[in-house]
Structure 1
Amino acid sequence: MKLQHLYDTIKNNSLSGRYITLSDLFPILEKLSATCAMTVEGHSVLGANLYSVRWGSGPNKILAWSQMHGNESTTTKALFDLFAFLDSPGNLKAAVDSFLEKNTLLVLPMLNPDGAETYTRENANQIDLNRDAKKRSQPESQVLRSVFERFKPDLCLNLHDQRTIYGLPGPKSATLSFLAPAANKKRSLTASRKQSMQYIATIAATLSEGLAGHIGRYDDTFNEYCVGDTFQRLGVPTILFEAGHYPNDYQREETRKYVFFAFLALFQISVTTNLDYRAYFDIPENNKMYRDVVLRNALVSNNERPISLAIQYKEELHQETLRWVPYLDALGPDLPLIGHKEIDIAGQQILINSHENVFVNEEIVTLTYKNGGSIEDFLSF
């Protein structure tokens, strides 16, 4: 992709991996305060600052927020790549200046710093902030709604990560998925929703060269408790970003790059064409067809017939280090799942944790052939 060299020059290398906390962002925010407006909009349950960063001064207002779920950091990394680019746009300075003249971009880069610290989806009160749009029982939810009402955005960007289970026809992993949230149970094509669809179609077309087949459309079932659905219902075009799995990219560094490219396309800094909203429906829907590892043709518990076993990683934080811990997710003779990594056991019997009997949801500490030899290396990446 033509933007690859640009990205290599502006990528914020001080942020990497999946475990991103407020302490990682604060030094960068301090430096950014010299070139953009930074504000403390409120505080989390445990008293952490909820920062906003403002770029531009134009009449079109864009509101974005990331890490509403504390363990979903890919879009946060991409936002800070975007900030670095806006600060030093290189040969795209004219396009960036035009964007900043026409638009005001207000970003809450980490809405759930307490959850980010413990690498959990929920906040410190164990509440999913993306199911708190109606009650607004949490201080973080109240801050987001207060900013929304005061800022009066023309476009909202709800930035998330999705699990590695999502795939697309091909089959291919769903690296980026988007959604124009429904505004009601009928999933009506309201004016704001059509606008969201048009934006998404344009992003997908722009990224199709480098990410062909890896761009999906998320399920649009209406949920009145979700923030994106709520803002869409209030008439503000809203786009859900779901940063997913790129092959062999469990740290989501490649995915982060494509999120950055999506921002450039959305902001008309780098775009191939503007498409009609109906092109949104040409984007294939996600399905839950993938697991991290699938073992084929394995014998377990002295079964006569080989079966397949699906293994899924759970991300677990241990002393500020993130580990990917394998669990047995499913098994069966005709398992309709695809592995990001596929291993043919060739009819040999395997033992999980030295046992012949295996159990779904069991953590896999050891994985061996019964006749000797470890196959645990197959679970690494």
Structure 2
Amino acid sequence: MMNFEKIFKESKVKNVTGRYVTNEDVFPFLEQTVFKDEIKEIGKSVLNASIKMITIGHGKTKILMWSQMHGNESTTTKAVLDLIHFLEKSSDLSLSILKNCTLRIIPILNPDGAAAYTRINANKIDLNRDAQDRSQPESKILRAVYLDFKPDFCFNLHDQRTIFNVGKTNKPATVSFLAPAFNKERGMSASRDKSMQLIVAMNSVLQNYIPGQVGRYDDGFNSNCVGDAFQMLNTPTILFESGHYPEDYDREKTREFIFYSLLKGVETIVNNELDLYKVDSYFDIPENGKQFLDLIIYNTKSIATTHPEADSLGVLYKEVLKNGKVVFEPTIVDENNLDLFFAHKKLNLLINSDLEYVKSNMLLSDCLLGN
């Protein structure tokens, strides 16, 4: 097996980090790559921001990737920049990819949403529910690229919330995948089989690094979702969902695992190795649960809190853009009866160090103590 950790360390674009990633972060990198002559403006957003695509390689097999369809889902954007940086360096694998594949990558499809750090575009439309109407300029741009390129594979790149666990376990869904359905019956087809096989290939690598932390996203059919729509057109499409890794709210570790997935996925396609992976193994990946809270605080009656009757409180963080930085604001979402939930962090206010942690954390202190 290739040394994914070493490759990532050599490929990571170190000046693009954190959760807030916009055109201003991405374009300077693109303009300095060895592939800069293959950058094309493919259209404008609602607010007239540039949407750019880069074409890499000259091979027969065509792969289309797009990220930040939801503006506040930036982890995969960082990972595709890392992939581009990897392809700049000469190696047996990179040369094979360039020879046998043509990649078209849209790093940020929704630049207005990225700038505002919102899921929706400037017209308050979820682009991933606009596949049929194509009412928005960004939706029209993606469909035009798809029709012109006629890809053999599509990589639909997203982030998911911290609430997801794998199956019924207390493992966070650090990475989740989906082979989208193409009909309400969630039937099987040649293109969906390929999507599943490719996911199995990527999961085979991830289990070496995050065992038990790979989930399978719900495959409920919605023709307005882009992945389902492209699967309906018989193009194998894979949904990537970047999730939580312990203590990694900036999603730099998750970025690494998405990079592994992208690299393994492209390698499997290039080497024509899909048939090494069984379709049935896709269903061995547990479905996502929704049992995680960011924080559970116990023995809250021991101090005066905003919820004086509660002995324990469940907290989720809300991502808020403030002064060009994403801030994680705590919000109390549940109280008492938290036995059905897992937590990314637990605090016991009878323990002095935990109490001091709450008091010293300004946002958490305001939420819990009402200061």
Per the normalisation by structure 1, the TM-score is: 0.88
Alpha-carbon displacement from aligned partner over 1:231-276 (angstroms, at most 9, x marks no partner): 0011000000000001000000000011101011101279999311
Alignment-mate amino acid for residue 116 of structure 1: A
Alpha-carbon displacement from aligned partner over 1:140-188 (angstroms, at most 9, x marks no partner): 0000000000100010000000000001143111100000000010000
The answer on 1:211 being equivalent to 2:210 is yes
Deviating more after overlay: 268-277 vs 54-63: 268-277
**Counterparts of 1:268 and 1:36, CA distance in 2:** 24
The equivalent residue for 2:319 is 315
Report how many aligned residue pairs link the two structures.
355
Question: Offset at 1:35?
Answer: 5.3
Question: Offset at 1:320?
Answer: 1.3
Q: Which aligned pairs between 1:188-227 and structure 2 lie closer than 5 A? A: 188-227=187-226
SS in 2 for 1:31: coil
CA contact (8 A) 2:30 2:36 kept: no
CA contact (8 A) 1:164 1:244 kept: yes
The answer on 1:290 being equivalent to 2:288 is no
The answer on 1:232 being equivalent to 2:236 is no
Alignment-mate amino acid for residue 170 of structure 2: P
**Are residues 302 and 74 of structure 1, via their aligned partners in 2, closer, same or farther at CA, if it must alter by over 3 Å?**
closer
SS in 2 for 1:192: helix
**Counterparts of 2:262 and 2:5, CA distance in 1:** 14
**Counterparts of 2:344 and 2:243, CA distance in 1:** 13
SS in 1 for 2:121: coil
**Counterparts of 2:233 and 2:35, CA distance in 1:** 35
**Are residues 337 and 36 of structure 1, via their aligned partners in 2, closer, same or farther at CA, if it must alter by over 3 Å?**
farther
**Are residues 140 and 363 of structure 1, via their aligned partners in 2, closer, same or farther at CA, if it must alter by over 3 Å?**
farther
Query: Which consecutive residues of structure 1, in runs of 5 or more, have no partner in the other structure?
Result: 355-361, 375-381
The equivalent residue for 1:74 is 75
Alignment-mate amino acid for residue 185 of structure 2: K
Question: Offset at 1:7?
Answer: 1.5
**Counterparts of 1:363 and 1:123, CA distance in 2:** 30
**Are residues 242 and 83 of structure 1, via their aligned partners in 2, closer, same or farther at CA, if it must alter by over 3 Å?**
same
CA contact (8 A) 1:155 1:236 kept: yes
**Counterparts of 1:34 and 1:154, CA distance in 2:** 22
Q: Which aligned pairs between 1:85-234 and structure 2 lie closer than 5 A? A: 85-89=86-90, 93-168=91-166, 169-234=168-233
Q: CA RMSD in A?
A: 2.5
**Counterparts of 1:333 and 1:167, CA distance in 2:** 19
SS in 1 for 2:208: helix
**Counterparts of 2:287 and 2:11, CA distance in 1:** 32
CA contact (8 A) 2:294 2:315 kept: yes
2:333 alignment partner, one of 329, 346, 365: 329
**Counterparts of 2:295 and 2:110, CA distance in 1:** 31
**Counterparts of 1:34 and 1:195, CA distance in 2:** 29
The equivalent residue for 2:277 is 275
Question: Offset at 1:314?
Answer: 0.5
SS in 2 for 1:367: helix
Query: Which consecutive residues of structure 2, in runs of 5 or more, have no partner in the other structure?
Result: none
Q: Which aligned pairs between 1:253-264 and structure 2 lie closer than 5 A? A: 253-264=252-263
The equivalent residue for 2:50 is 49
SS in 2 for 1:76: helix
Question: Offset at 1:312?
Answer: 0.5
The equivalent residue for 2:11 is 10
SS in 2 for 1:147: helix
**Counterparts of 1:318 and 1:347, CA distance in 2:** 32
Question: Offset at 1:97?
Answer: 1.2
**Counterparts of 1:35 and 1:66, CA distance in 2:** 19
Alignment-mate amino acid for residue 82 of structure 1: L
Alpha-carbon displacement from aligned partner over 1:312-335 (angstroms, at most 9, x marks no partner): 110111121211110011112344
CA contact (8 A) 1:43 1:49 kept: yes
SS in 2 for 1:150: helix
Alpha-carbon displacement from aligned partner over 1:37-93 (angstroms, at most 9, x marks no partner): 11111110111111111111111110010000000000000000011100014xxx1
Alignment-mate amino acid for residue 345 of structure 1: L
The answer on 1:241 being equivalent to 2:240 is yes
Deviating more after overlay: 76-85 vs 99-108: 99-108
SS in 1 for 2:131: coil
Question: Offset at 1:363?
Answer: 8.9
- What percent of counterpart residues are identical? 45
The answer on 1:365 being equivalent to 2:369 is no
Alignment-mate amino acid for residue 325 of structure 1: E
The answer on 1:342 being equivalent to 2:342 is no
